[in-house]
């Protein structure tokens, strides 16, 4: 495109906006050139690692979780397009390929946690983090709400407690992750859960109402004749996110909390073995894509594979 044509297009752009093109073009004469560090906000990004102790590896712990939150944000960015836009099947396959790559990043990145911190240092500085917990990752919960109906986020024991025709608010009272911070006999909630609900629960309920009937699971069902490739990509995402990633998380927790049979408590106070293992929660985004045999063995084969 010629220089003259570029200028004409710029003038047309601002005229269509009802603006004076000359004002904007004069402004370009004064504008500073963009730099990598300003565009990426490098200085700000690298200033966000605030530790609570002097242990050198605590900053690794902080950065790892910040990277995880950024990956979750990328995933939600893709999922929102699938939920709110009307994409044809090729668009779905492209987005699912991205989601599967991002989830694979989450899985492989756990090596940073397992092999990248001093065992004794971690088990010392982690006590300063109570009652904070990765359980309090709001993006993790947002992603689940976008992906599937709330009924699929309630384990078997939770389903027994549900009233007939539960409201969204009632479904949230029995959602699987609340078991990690609620004594179901007394109703008492841990401080970890109390703080989490105070900050985010209203947002979770609002999002669930917004996407009701249009979660990723429900949008996928609208394809009258989905290809084998699409179904395979959906199953792959379900397996990566709800089986393989929790298992790697569980194995890392075992390395630091139970490697010598001591069964240390999680900083959030949860029964972390039952909370993390896929076979206990049976969380699935696309339950209709799995056979009864798959459900009965949920996570078991992958656990054996990752342990060898």
The answer on pLDDT for 240 being more than 80 is yes
For residues 279-290, average pLDDT = 91
For residues 282-306, average pLDDT = 82
Name the pLDDT band for 250 (thresholds 50, 70, 90): confident
What are the residue boundaries of the structural domains of the chain, listed by start? 3-31, 57-307
- Predicted TM-score (pTM) of this structure: 0.90
The pLDDT tens digits of the residues spanning 70-89 come to 999 999 999 999 999 999 99
Give the DSSP letter string of the chain.
--HHHHHHHHHHHHHHTT--HHHHHHHHHHPPPP-HHHHTTHHHHTT----SSS-TTHHHHHHHHHHHHHHHHHHHHHHHHHHHS---HHHHHHHHHHHHHHHHHHHHTHHHHHHSS-HHHHHHHGGGGTT--GGG-HHHHHHHHHHS-GGGGS-HHHHHHPPSS--HHHHHHT-GGGGGTB-TTT--B-HHHHHHHHHHHHHHHHHHHHHTT-SHHHHHTT-SS--HHHHHHHHHHHHIIIIIHHHHHHHHHHHHHSTTS--PPPTT---HHHHH-HHHH---S-GGGS-HHHHHTTTHHHHHHHH-
Express as a percent the part of the chain with pLDDT over 90: 73
The yes/no answer on whether domain 57-307 falls in CATH 2.60.40 is: no
Express as a percent the part of the chain with pLDDT over 70: 92
The answer on pLDDT for 65 being more than 70 is yes
For residues 126-151, average pLDDT = 95
């Amino acid at each position: 495109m010629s220089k003259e044509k570029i200028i004409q297009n710029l003038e047309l752009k601002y005229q269509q906006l009802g603006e004076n093109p000359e004002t904007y073009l004069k402004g370009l004469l004064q504008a500073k050139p963009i730099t990598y560090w300003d565009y990426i906000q490098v200085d700000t990004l690298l200033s966000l690692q605030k530790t609570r102790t002097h242990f050198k590896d605590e900053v690794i712990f902080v950065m790892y979780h910040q990277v995880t939150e950024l990956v979750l944000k990328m995933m939600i960015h893709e999922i929102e397009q699938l939920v709110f836009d009307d994409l044809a099947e090729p668009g779905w396959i492209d987005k699912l390929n991205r989601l599967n790559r991002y989830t694979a990043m989450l899985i492989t990145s756990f090596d940073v946690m397992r092999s990248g911190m001093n065992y004794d240092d971690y088990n010392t500085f982690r006590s300063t983090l109570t009652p904070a917990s990765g359980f309090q990752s709001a993006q993790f919960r947002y992603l689940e709400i976008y992906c599937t109906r709330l009924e699929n986020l309630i384990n078997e024991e939770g389903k027994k407690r549900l009233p007939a025709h539960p409201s969204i608010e009632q479904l949230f009272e029995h959602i699987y992750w609340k078991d990690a911070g609620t004594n179901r006999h007394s109703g008492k909630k841990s401080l970890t859960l109390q703080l989490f609900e105070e900050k985010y629960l209203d947002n979770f309920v609002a999002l669930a109402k917004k996407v009701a009937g249009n979660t990723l699971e429900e949008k996928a069902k609208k394809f009258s004749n989905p290809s084998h490739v699409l179904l395979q990509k959906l199953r792959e995402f379900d397996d990566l996110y709800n089986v393989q990633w929790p298992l790697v998380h569980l194995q890392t927790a075992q390395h630091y909390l139970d490697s010598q049979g001591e069964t240390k408590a999680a900083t959030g106070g949860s029964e972390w073995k039952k909370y993390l293992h896929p076979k206990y929660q049976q969380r699935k985004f696309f339950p209709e894509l799995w056979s009864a045999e798959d459900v009965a063995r949920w996570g078991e084969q992958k656990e054996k594979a990752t342990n060898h």
